Amino acid sequence: MLHNPRTSALAFGIIRDELPSCEVARAVGVIGALLAVGTGLGIVLAGPIVSLLSYRWLFIIPFVVTAVAAIATQVLVPESPVTTPGKINWLNASLLSVWLIALLLAVSQASSWGWLSTTALVLIAVAIVIAVLWVIAESRSDNPLIDMQMMRIRSVWTANLVALLLGVGMYASFGFLPQFLQAPTEYGYGFGASVTESGLTLLPMTIGTFVSSIYTGRLSERYGSKSVLATGVLIAAAGFFVVALMHGHQRDIYVASAIIGIGLGLAFAAMSTVVVAAVPLDQTGVASGMNANIRTIGGSLGAAAMASIVAVGASPSGVPLESGYTNGYLMLGGICIVAVFAALLIPKQPNLPSL
């Protein structure tokens, strides 16, 4: 039930087309807040839906909601006044799909296959080779999917680096906070929580993300998107360190979840503003979409790395040890610290051009 990154990219593009430049940062923050609520509620409600109905409704309900959203978009959202003619570059689209699929399949399955298994290594090699071919093809194309000149803009590539690193922490926390709570108490660290109870762990994160995203626009106008982004990443890092070092009571997890949510809300909303401000009007959707995709790639890498760390710290019987989770969350916090330094590389943001 996570949101589609292409949808958020289109939303940011519409905002920039339709609103005065002075209102873009706040509007991006509101969209980020709503995306956070949708993502968080989807995860929180998954447990009750399975318990009261069945797992099939995890697919039926999103289908109905998505259909309603599509109809509402067609009826209520005006056509953008800024349009750019173009056509689909099928060759470059195929190359992009191949290397992304190979990379994500390798990192998502490496914990079960083994990072040094033949299958994983072959897939990673294929991803690297095809990615290089894709970059060359994009650079030489008259109709590229991704403008490589745009990707070399300092604000864009630094924001994408932050997205990659922060995505590692966000998606790993989605998967492993509930798993930690569901561990039986006889393991020496779990709380024996049900699926529904463990899903509620992410509710403070959802609330924190929503509230902080709402205020990101105002904070960015006062202190600058770069400062807000770096601060948000630092707060998220603090939340991961709290999970690693203080998890003796469920309240510790709820507090850490809220801290992580506040940091993620500030960071992702400010990051979107950074990307939107750095590119021409006709590239807003492409730049935002690529940033969201890179965040997803980071999420896959983070989930795979976290699974490997937890698996390595397992008892001979296969039961994960507390130290595995501790080391995993220390890793996530450390990655966020690296992301803070990446955010500091972002140049001072210019004002958005008037429409």
For 163, the token pair is 């997205």
Q: What is the pLDDT of residue 80?
A: 67
Cβ distance 287 to 279 under 8 Å?
Answer: yes
Most confident residue range from 36-40, 204-208, 236-240: 236-240
Residue 9 confidence class, pLDDT cut points 50, 70, 90 = low
3-state DSSP call for residue 264? helix
Which of 136, 152, 153 lies closest to 144 in space, CA to CA?
136
- What 3 state SS string does 317-350 have? CCCECHHHHHHHHHHHHHHHHHHHHHHHCCCCCC
**Residue (of 219, 244, 245) closest to 169 by Cα position:** 244
Angle, helices 154-182/250-278, rounded to nearest 10 degrees = 160
DSSP symbol at 115: T
What is the average per-residue pLDDT within 197-201? 78
Which has the closest alpha carbon to 165: 274, 271, 288?
271
**What pLDDT shows up at residue 19?**
67
Give residue 217's pLDDT band: very low, low, confident or very high (50, 70, 90). Answer: confident
Tens digits of residue pLDDT in 86-102? 667 788 888 888 988 88
pTM for this prediction: 0.78
Q: Give pLDDT, residue 202.
A: 79
Whole-number pLDDT of residue 104: 75
- Predicted confidence (pLDDT) at residue 338 exceeds the cutoff of 90: yes
**Bigger pLDDT: 120 vs 199:** 120
Task: Select the CATH number that applies to the domain covering 5-86+152-344 from these four: 3.40.1030.10, 1.20.1250.20, 3.40.190.10, 3.40.50.2000.
Answer: 1.20.1250.20
Q: How confident is the model at residue 33 (pLDDT cuts 50, 70, 90)?
A: low
- The token pair that represents 89 in the structure block: 């570059």
What CA–CA distance (Å, rounded) separates 304 from 122?
A: 17
The share of the chain scoring above pLDDT 90, in percent, equals 14
Does 62 have pLDDT greater than 80? Answer: yes
CA distance linking residue 293 with residue 167, whole number of Å: 10
Q: What is the pLDDT of residues 118-141, one digit of tens each?
A: 898 999 999 999 999 988 988 887
Q: Are 213 and 30 in contact (CB under 8 A)?
A: yes
CA dist., res. 209 & res. 225, Å (int): 16
How sure is the predictor about 353, in pLDDT bands with cuts at 50, 70 and 90?
Answer: very low
Residue 231 scores a pLDDT above 90: yes
Mean pLDDT calculated for residue range 53-79: 84
What does pLDDT average to over the chain? 80
